[in-house]
């Protein structure tokens, strides 16, 4: 009797797997097509970049590259700890104020100095 049950289970598993085979084939083709489509998109981007830069990179004015994109840089804040720093606080503040990072704005507080951009 157990042999009959095992044969029945085996035949049911085979039937289920035969129903899932088309799903596996479709899934494999979808994965392959997605990879091909992604590769074609990358090739198109490469062709567009080549077309835009084939005469050389755009000319830059003598500034650093990040300066051209300074309007899109993330804002930052620099905090300068100044506890018992009477001898060197002037130099520290001048050093922080001389930093260039985008369109900067320097703020000073009573007990601390912060440069916020």
Q: What is the per-residue pLDDT for 6?
A: 82
User: Does the reported pTM lie above 0.75?
Assistant: no
**56 vs 53: CA distance, rounded Å:** 5
What pLDDT tens digit does each residue of the chain (117 aa) get?
678 888 888 888 888 888 888 999 999 999 999 999 999 999 999 999 998 888 877 766 666 666 666 666 666 777 777 777 778 888 888 887 777 766 555 565 555 554 544
Q: What is the per-residue pLDDT for 84?
A: 78
Q: Domain locations in the chain?
A: 1-59, 65-116
Backbone φ, ψ for residue 105 (5° rounding): -140, 125
**86 vs 97: CA distance, rounded Å:** 18
Cα torsion 48, 52, 53, 54 to 10°: value is 80
């Amino acid at each position: 009797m157990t042999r009959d049950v095992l044969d029945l289970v085996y035949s049911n598993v085979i039937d289920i797997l035969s129903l899932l085979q088309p799903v596996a084939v479709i899934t494999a083709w979808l994965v392959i097509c997605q990879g091909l489509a992604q590769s074609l998109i990358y090739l198109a981007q490469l062709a567009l970049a080549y077309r835009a830069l084939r005469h050389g990179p755009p000319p830059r004015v003598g500034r650093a590259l990040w300066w051209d994109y300074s309007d899109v840089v993330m804002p930052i804040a620099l905090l300068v700890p100044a506890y018992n720093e009477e001898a060197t606080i002037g130099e520290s503040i001048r050093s922080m104020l001389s930093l260039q990072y985008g369109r900067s704005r320097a703020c000073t507080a009573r007990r601390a100095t912060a440069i916020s951009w």
